[in-house]
Every structure is written in structure tokens, then in C-alpha cells.
Amino acid sequence: MKTIPYWLDDFPRPADLPTAPLPERIDVVVVGGGYTGLGAGRTLARNGHSVAVLEQGNIGNGASAMNGGQAGPGVKLAIQEVFKKYGPELGRQVWQATLDSMTLLEETLAEENIDCDYTPNGVIMAACKPSHYQAYAAKTEWMQQNLQYDRFKLVPPEQMHTELGTNIYHGALVDYGTSGLHPAKYLFGLARAAARAGAHICENTRVEKITRHGDGFTLATSRGPVQANAVLLATNGYTTNLVPQIQRGVFTVGSYMIVTEPLPEALQKELVPNNRVIYDSKWFLNYFRLMPDGRMSMGGRNNLSPNLDVGESAQILSARMIEIFPQLKGVPVTHTWTGQLGVTFDLMPHIGREEGVYFAYGYGGHGVALSAYLGKEAAELMTGKISRSPFAEVSHQKPFYYRGNAWFLPLAAAYYRFLDSVS
């Protein structure tokens, strides 16, 4: 069993990926070479700004090449809760922005000719309990009334066989607005697009310190200093204390995945007849899908730590996969890996500025489409092309008890396990 992301084993970093030496001076430095940073770099370069995207390792070393490849609208916080917390006007703007992120994703794939096995077949949200299915029914009605969103379809329990080859769930909700893709193919395609636009992609460039001075910033890096007029941190779940006030608004959570060997075509059709991506209604949710080459992938966690043993997590996920699909008993698992999510205390993505440094982060597992969109929004806010973004206006919680050490994760994990047992 390989302990590397399947996506990178299937589609390694291209040897001819365009990279550049570290410039001495540049208009904008973007720290982080994932979807957010590359989306920002592409936008800045297309708008005529010189920009360097600094990645501490190689492109593909972070969450952008490790996720489940599910791209859809919405944020981590349920949209009904967004309405309650921020009001209907801002809530509608947030929802529309997430729809716009899907439009941006599809436009980028078309404009840049990125082949990433894009499958716009929808997502199955599987109900683990009858009450969860009832909540899906209520959500469907709420979405139609408040957002005129009509891409949901309820699947009652007696019809679940048309969507999944398992009898473990109590109905489901299908959202036709969600798609699947190959994260590494998308990432490397986005990197090429940013470079074609004129962005400098600088790999193996760790930023060690950011110093603000009268006419901009000096960044000390592992490859020497660079001066910039503006800086954007796009590090999400890998955010450090380069700017402590930015780190205080996000914490890191681990997520774990396994992938089986390729399945016979008949078994693929039995398990997921419509080739949709899937996640369930648990607090510690499970997410799974068929891979482009017919493997089954399974992701999730029963602990929030980013530092669990991947072998142990593979055993847990394998048992969970067989519980859902007994047909997979005995099918070898070929890959297991872990990645880091960036989660905020209010479960909302944020764009902001602290000590003169801009940031965009906090997708909480909903960043495949949204991250490049926030990169674009942050880039346009920095340069004055746009004057506002809903993600810059939602209040940003930074609790006094958090200074970069997420000591509370075991307590939160225990609480989520309790909720899964009673709700």
C-alpha cells in the first residue's frame, strides 16, 4: 500500500511545469502555490501586475492535490445558518459567490484547455438516519423559497438503489450543481495557466519572515530576499505565524483517504450507477466516489488531528468502506494519505488584511472550486479592480484562547462523536 496521494501517483508533477527564479522585486508576492495562490497569480498577471507565487515545496505538496475532488456550491457553514447569522442580503451574496466559483472553475477549464476528468454528474448527500432525510426535505423547500435553487432532487429510501448499491442509508438528496474532477490535473493545469499569464512560479521557496516598510514589504525566504509592493497569504491549512493575527483566524484539521485497486465495470455500476460523488450526513462525514479509472476512494476521519498514523487511519476507513459497501470486502487498498484543511471558528471562508498583508483562507473542506475564486477576489480587492466581496464582509472570529496551537481539537472531536451518536 502506497502512502502517497493517488492523484499524484496517477498524474505526477510534470517535469516541464513552468517555474522561475526568485525575483529581487515584484509588484505582488503570493505565498502558497495551491488553488488559491495560483488563482490569485493568474488573475494578477492577466490584469497586468507582476506577481510571484512562492511555494515552500513543489506544486502539489499541499491539500490542492490531496482532496477528494468534489467541487460544488456552498460553504462549510450551512447556508440556512449563514442567513441566520449574517442576514438574508449577505447570505444571498455568499451563496451567489459560491455559484460564481463553479462558473469560474468551468470557464477556467475551458479557456485554459485543462483536462481534469471533469464530471458534472452531481453529488449524493446520503442520509444516515431518517431524521437526516427529513432535514434534507426541509432544506430542499428552503432553498427553493429563499434562493430559487432548483437543482436538488430528493431520493426516498425505497429508491436509493437507483443511486447507491447499499442499503445502509435512509434516503438522500442529489445536488446536480456539484461535479467531480482530478485534483492534481486541475492543479497543474492551473499552474500552467498562471505561468502563461505571466506569473512567476517559484517552488521550494519557504517564506521565513515578512517585514513591512514604507513602500512595501521585504520577504526573507529560503532562496533569498524579495521586495514587493503587496503580499497575499494563500496558505489555508498550512498557515503559520508569519503574521500572527492571520494565523489566529484559522486552524488545521486532518483528513484521510484511501483508494482501492480498479473495480470491474459491472461492480462500479452496481455501487454508484450514475457516477456521482457522495458524502453522508455525519458530523464526522464520509466522502467517497469512483475514480476516473474505476477505483473506489473513501475519505473521512474519526479524529480532527492532522497527525494520525496513516496506516491506522487506512484500517478505519477500510472498515467503514466495507460497512457501506460489503461488496468491497477483500478488495485491496492501494493508496492511503492525509492532508490538511484550513477551518475557521465561524466555519466561513475569509478574505482580509492584517498588518498590511492580505489573506484568503478557511474553506473547511469546501475549497476545490471556492479557493481559486477567493484567490481571484483577493487579487482584485488588493489592486482595486473590485471594491467589495462578501467574504471580506462576514465577521471573522479570532478567539482569545487560540494562538496557533489547536489544543481544543480532541475536545471538538469528542463532541462530534457524541453528536453522531445522538443526532
Written as one letter, the residue type at 261 is E
375 lies in a domain?
Answer: yes
How does 196-218 read in b/e, with b if 16+ C-beta sit within 10 Å?
A: ebebbbbbebebeebeeeeebbe
Q: Is the pLDDT of residue 304 over 90?
A: no
* Per-residue model confidence (pLDDT) at position 72: 98
Please state the length of the chain: 423
With CA atoms as reference, report the closest residue to 39 among 362, 379, 343.
379
- Is the pLDDT at 403 greater than 90? The verdict is yes
Instruction: Classify residue 294: in a domain, yes or no.
Output: no
The CATH number for 56's domain is 3.50.50.60
Least confidently predicted of 117-126, 159-168, 296-305, 401-410: 296-305
Please report the pLDDT score of residue 147 as a whole number.
Answer: 98
Mean pLDDT confidence for 227-239:
98
User: In the block, which residue shows the cell 460553504?
Assistant: 75
Backbone φ and ψ for 55, nearest 5 degrees, come out as: -115, 125
Residue 361 · residue 26 · CB < 8 Å? no
Summarised one tens digit per residue, pLDDT across range 171-204 is 999 999 999 999 999 999 999 999 999 999 999 9
The verdict on residue 141 lying in a domain is no
Query: Which pLDDT score is estimated for 268?
Result: 99
Specify the pLDDT at position 95: 99
Kindly state whether residue 287 falls inside one of the protein's structural domains.
Answer: no
d(CA 44, CA 91): 28
Residue 302 reports pLDDT greater than 80 = no
- Mean pLDDT for the stretch of residues 394-408: 94
Q: Residue 218's domain spans which residues?
A: 14-118+181-251+341-416
Q: Is 281 a member of any domain?
A: no
Per-residue pLDDT, 75: 98
Confidence of residue 422 (pLDDT cuts 50, 70, 90): confident
- How many domains are contained in the chain? 1
The pLDDT assigned to 111 comes to 98
DSSP, res 209? E
Classify residue 28: in a domain, yes or no: yes
Q: Which of 224, 203, 213, 208 is nearest to 24 (CA)?
A: 224
CB 321 within 8 A of CB 328: yes
pLDDT tens digits along 245-275: 999 999 999 999 999 999 999 999 999 999 9
pLDDT above 70 as % of the chain:
100
Residue 409 backbone dihedrals phi, psi, to 5 degrees: -60, -40
Helix (H, G, I), strand (E, B) or coil at 201: strand
Mean pLDDT of the residues in the chain:
97
pLDDT in tens, 366-376: 999 999 999 99
Structure confidence by residue, pLDDT tens digits, 121-132 = 999 999 999 999
User: 215 pLDDT band (50/70/90 cuts)?
Assistant: confident
Instruction: Specify the amino acid at residue 298.
Output: M
Average the pLDDT over 307-327 and give the result.
93
Q: What does the alpha-carbon distance between residue 86 and residue 31 come to, in Å, rounded to a whole number?
A: 30
2 assigned to some structural domain? no
**Cα separation, 44 vs 191, whole angstroms:** 13
* Chain segment 322-366, per-residue pLDDT in tens: 999 999 999 999 999 999 999 999 999 999 999 999 999 999 999
**Any domain includes 23:** yes
